[in-house]
């Protein structure tokens, strides 16, 4: 097999067509987004372009971010009206509670929302989900679900319908919803094109400069304030591996094939003070550093140079949210000067430690940061034979899809590729190589190689996964709201992921972190039973 073979000439390339936008119902779903950062804007765009829902409200404490998203996706050139913007999610809860009270009294009120998309910082997820739960709205929460297993379990209890009316619940594991991965699962799990899986090697290349932006200088740099990088960055990947190797195919009555063991190793290898170049001296900021012009990690080079491979606009807007308005009103040069001023913000020995820790310094020396998350980590999962025979099945059929296998996930910072995951899957009848663009299948018996080219959009988030998740979640809301479908049915048919699956993939991450820190092999079956399963039922 030649996993990195040159793409066939254009005349031989066939791609699946783009998914069509669903037709609007007479009363389309109305959605609120909480958080106008990167992910909030991504889902706002996806709702507007790829779903049959309406984005009608935004919650965001930073006025410039709230106004930018609102103008772009909700109210346009007019002023925001009642119910269209809030500075705090608690303000929305109070407003919605009062709105319902007045509506019940027969007062004509603004129409409410049907669903909420939560895009706040990871550690806020539990508070927001639990705060919204009494309203009975459908919820989609950005990944990770929470930053501790206890919080994940508490969220599960709040959204699983215990003691109240069931509501739809989705998680931002958008990789499940890309056309590429949906086809990969169909080929592997439903059509079984390479038979039983023997082993999987999966790599997430974070990207050297992307890691510095998010995990050295940015929001996800410290475990104590965000989460381990395996959870913050690669819970996507753990979920995909369990979706492919653990979750049964559609229509199967068999339980999931749980991993037998999980182990992990990894550390912060590079972005530490001992790595700081001598020429940099005591500098803590790139713009005042004598080594800046020769440093690969210079913030000036990264945010104004060619390193971002055309992604400047996206990441620069995170550093300086108002840059779009500055460039529009005062020109590109003024925008660049404002960006440099932001990057030049620094601290010194008189700055209180708490003030340094509580904000992002995107011009900060990567060797002087307070980051502590892994920049290189490997997770290995094993499965044992676990045959389950249904009526009429032979022993071989009972073992189908439930045989022993191994999967390895490698999350690595130092790569040219930016989140362009690639996966080798080794089966009894052949091999699969998948890289986000194409899926190559080699048949051992015939030597024949087939290449599938799923639809990949230009600039679509996560290979159209952002759009795919938004489309499926809103469709589920629509079917419950306008089609009278039961919540459980809509959850299964459109969202395709249960709350228990969400907990399972997160639990695997927490087990891997326990293994890494303790330098142990976790017996996942026993761990799941003692740490998770019983708590989900109580």
CATH of the domain at 229: 3.30.360.10
**Are 240 and 327 within one domain?**
no
pLDDT in tens, 375-402: 999 999 999 999 999 988 999 999 999 9
Q: Is 127 helix (H, G, I), strand (E, B) or coil?
A: helix
Write the CB contacts of 328 (distance below 8 Å, at least 6 apart in sequence): none
**Are 188 and 135 within one domain?**
no
362 is a domain residue: no
Of 126, 140, 131, the C-alpha closest to 88 is 131
Q: Is 245 helix (H, G, I), strand (E, B) or coil?
A: helix
Per-residue pLDDT at 251: 85
**Are 130 and 52 within one domain?**
yes
Per-residue pLDDT at 7: 45
- Whether the CB-CB separation of 374 and 223 falls below 8 Å is answered with no
Given 174, 191, 219, the domain boundary residue is 174
Per-residue pLDDT at 74: 97
363 is a domain residue: no
Per-residue pLDDT at 16: 66
In the chain, the percentage of residues whose pLDDT exceeds 70 is 94
Given 331, 357, 383, the domain boundary residue is 357
State how far the Cα of 382 lies from the Cα of 246, in Å rounded to an integer. 11
**Are 404 and 523 within one domain?**
yes
331 is a domain residue: yes
Written in H, E and C, the secondary structure of 139-188 is EEECCCCCCCHHHHHHHHHHHCCCCCCCCCEEECCHHHHCHHHHHHHHHH
**Are 418 and 531 within one domain?**
yes
193 is a domain residue: yes
**Are 87 and 124 within one domain?**
yes
pTM for the predicted model, two decimal places? 0.92
**Are 223 and 252 within one domain?**
yes
Domain range holding 302?
274-357
Cβ count within 10 A of residue 482:
16
State how far the Cα of 110 lies from the Cα of 99, in Å rounded to an integer. 8
Positions in the chain whose pLDDT score sits under 50: 1-13
Given 174, 190, 205, the domain boundary residue is 174
Per-residue pLDDT at 20: 81
Record the tokens describing residue 93, joined without a space: 């809860």
468 is a domain residue: no
Per-residue pLDDT at 62: 94
448 is a domain residue: yes
């Amino acid at each position: 097999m030649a996993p990195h073979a040159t793409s066939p000439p254009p005349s031989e390339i066939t791609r699946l067509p783009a998914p069509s936008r669903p037709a609007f119902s007479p009363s389309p779903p109305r959605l609120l987004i909480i958080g106008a950062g990167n992910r909030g804007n991504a889902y706002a765009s996806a709702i507007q372009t790829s779903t049959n829902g309406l984005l009608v409200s935004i919650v965001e404490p930073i006025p410039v971010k709230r106004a930018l998203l609102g103008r772009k996706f909700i109210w346009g050139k007019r002023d925001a009206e009642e119910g269209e913007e809030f500075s705090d999610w608690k303000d929305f809860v109070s407003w919605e509670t009062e709105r319902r009270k007045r509506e019940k009294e027969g007062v004509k009120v603004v129409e409410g929302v049907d669903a909420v998309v939560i895009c706040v910082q990871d550690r806020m997820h539990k508070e927001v989900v639990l705060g919204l739960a009494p309203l009975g709205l459908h919820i989609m929460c950005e990944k990770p679900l929470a930053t501790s297993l206890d919080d994940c379990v508490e969220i599960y209890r709040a959204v699983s319908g215990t003691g109240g009316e069931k509501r739809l619940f989705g998680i931002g594991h958008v990789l499940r919803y890309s056309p590429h991965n949906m086809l990969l699962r169909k080929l592997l799990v439903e059509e079984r094109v390479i038979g039983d899986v023997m082993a999987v090697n999966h790599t997430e290349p974070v990207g050297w400069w992307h890691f510095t932006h998010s995990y050295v200088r940015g929001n996800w740099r410290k475990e104590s304030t965000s989460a381990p990088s395996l959870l913050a960055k690669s819970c996507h990947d753990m979920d995909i591996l369990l979706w492919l190797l653990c979750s049964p195919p559609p229509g199967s009555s068999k339980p999931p094939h749980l991993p037998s063991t999980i182990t992990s190793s990894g550390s912060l290898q590079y972005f530490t003070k001992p790595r700081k170049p001598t020429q940099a001296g005591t500098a803590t900021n790139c713009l005042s550093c004598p080594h800046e012009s020769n440093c690969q990690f210079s913030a000036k080079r990264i945010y104004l140079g060619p390193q971002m491979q055309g992604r400047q606009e996206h990441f620069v807007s995170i550093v300086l949210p108002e840059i779009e308005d500055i460039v529009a009103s005062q020109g590109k040069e003024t925008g660049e000067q404002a960006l440099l001023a932001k990057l030049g913000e620094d601290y010194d020995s008189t700055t209180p430690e708490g003030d340094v820790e509580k904000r992002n310094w995107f011009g900060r020396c990567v060797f002087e940061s307070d980051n502590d998350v892994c920049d290189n980590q490997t997770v290995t999962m094993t499965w044992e034979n676990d045959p389950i025979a249904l009526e009429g099945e032979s022993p071989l059929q009972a073992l189908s899809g439930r045989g022993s296998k191994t999967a390895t996930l490698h999350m690595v910072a130092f790569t040219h590729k930016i989140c362009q995951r690639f996966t080798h899957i080794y089966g009894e009848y052949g091999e699969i190589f998948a890289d986000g663009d194409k899926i190559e299948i080699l048949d051992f018996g015939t030597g024949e190689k087939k290449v599938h080219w799923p639809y990949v959009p230009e600039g679509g988030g996560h290979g159209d996964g952002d759009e795919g998740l938004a489309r499926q979640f809103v469709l589920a809301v629509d079917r419950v709201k306008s089609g009278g479908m039961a919540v459980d049915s809509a959850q299964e048919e459109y969202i395709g992921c249960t709350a228990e699956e969400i907990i399972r993939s997160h639990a695997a991450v927490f087990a891997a972190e326990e293994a890494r820190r303790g330098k142990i092999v976790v017996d996942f079956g026993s761990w799941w039973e003692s740490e998770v399963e019983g708590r989900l039922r109580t």
